[in-house]
Structure 1
């Protein structure tokens, strides 16, 4: 299963937000400690990259794979220290309750640029993760990516041309 689709959710002044049902199903599949009786699950929220005004949300299993890759880098290397700072230190495990709601700490809402009294969050699927943006930041990111697509495909055509060759022929 993968995260796909774009859904806008309300975030209240206390940081409470509902995680879309389709996304919860992916999170549950990727949480080794998920208990279907309690329906409580966990997700890993990454907020450490200062260049991105969004939260990147992974399943527990998907993020564990990333941590294993970071651990293969030589200790003390610039690459490892950067990844440790922005991914490892800049992330936390967040619980989703049985009703599908979670609470985003103020530092997470501040990173996204959400107003203190709440607002809206766009949950955008991206296969192995989903990103949570303010609507304004999401639209700005869409515009940046659209400009990049137009530059790469100046002659026109279908965006499916960006895919690698199909290994099945």
Structure 2
């Protein structure tokens, strides 16, 4: 069975940055944490690189390690790109432990990036990762873009047709 981050969720975050990770996402984090065992807390890696203008990306430990491995494997002649990518995906990331109640403390720096000191965070499952957004920002950017894309399509448009399969 393939574990994936799916669905959309909204969670509250308090002034101290405490928030719950959606329960279905916790199972994926457990499955993607090589050190996790029953009774232990899973970890999540939050990427906040400069390339992420309005959101945070979250990965299982294993998925983030895979990305780090791909960066390490870049050829020597691409040193500048390797350093840039390492900065965005490794330097500008943090590992958080999910407590026994399914909560993490999201650092103030990351809440400020989302323009949320306290309130609600919108979670969007993306399969191998999930995103965290200020809900208003999401609706004004990504939500609007998807609405515009669908508005340009015929009434009988099947979104899966872009996959190119039969």
**TM value normalised by structure 1:** 0.88
Q: Is 1:101 equivalent to 2:103 in the alignment?
A: yes
Which residue is equivalent to 1:45? Answer: 46
Q: Displacement, 1:148?
A: 3.8
Q: Which runs of 5+ in 2 are unaligned?
A: none
Q: What stretches of structure 1 move > 4 A for 4+ residues in a row? A: none
Q: Is 1:163 equivalent to 2:160 in the alignment?
A: no
Which residue, 6, 9, 16 being the options, matches 1:7? 9
Q: Displacement, 1:50?
A: 4.2
Which residue is equivalent to 1:22? Answer: 24
Q: Displacement, 1:113?
A: 1.5
CA contact (8 A) 1:46 1:87 kept: yes
Q: More deviation in 12-21 or 155-164?
A: 155-164
Q: Is 1:130 equivalent to 2:97 in the alignment?
A: no
Matched position secondary structure for 2:43: strand
Deviations 1:5-61 (A, max 9, x none): 0010000000000001100000000001112123x1101100013442111000000
Q: Displacement, 1:71?
A: 1.1
Which residue is equivalent to 1:85? Answer: 87
Aligned length, in residue pairs: 162
CA contact (8 A) 1:49 1:87 kept: no
Q: Over the residues paired in the alignment, what is the CA RMSD in angstroms?
A: 1.8
**TM value normalised by structure 2:** 0.89
Q: Counterparts of 2:137 and 2:30 in 1: how far apart (Å)?
A: 28
Q: Displacement, 1:66?
A: 0.8
Q: Counterparts of 1:77 and 1:156 in 2: how far apart (Å)?
A: 47
Q: Counterparts of 1:13 and 1:91 in 2: how far apart (Å)?
A: 22
Which residue is equivalent to 1:144? Answer: 145
Which residue is equivalent to 2:72? Answer: 71
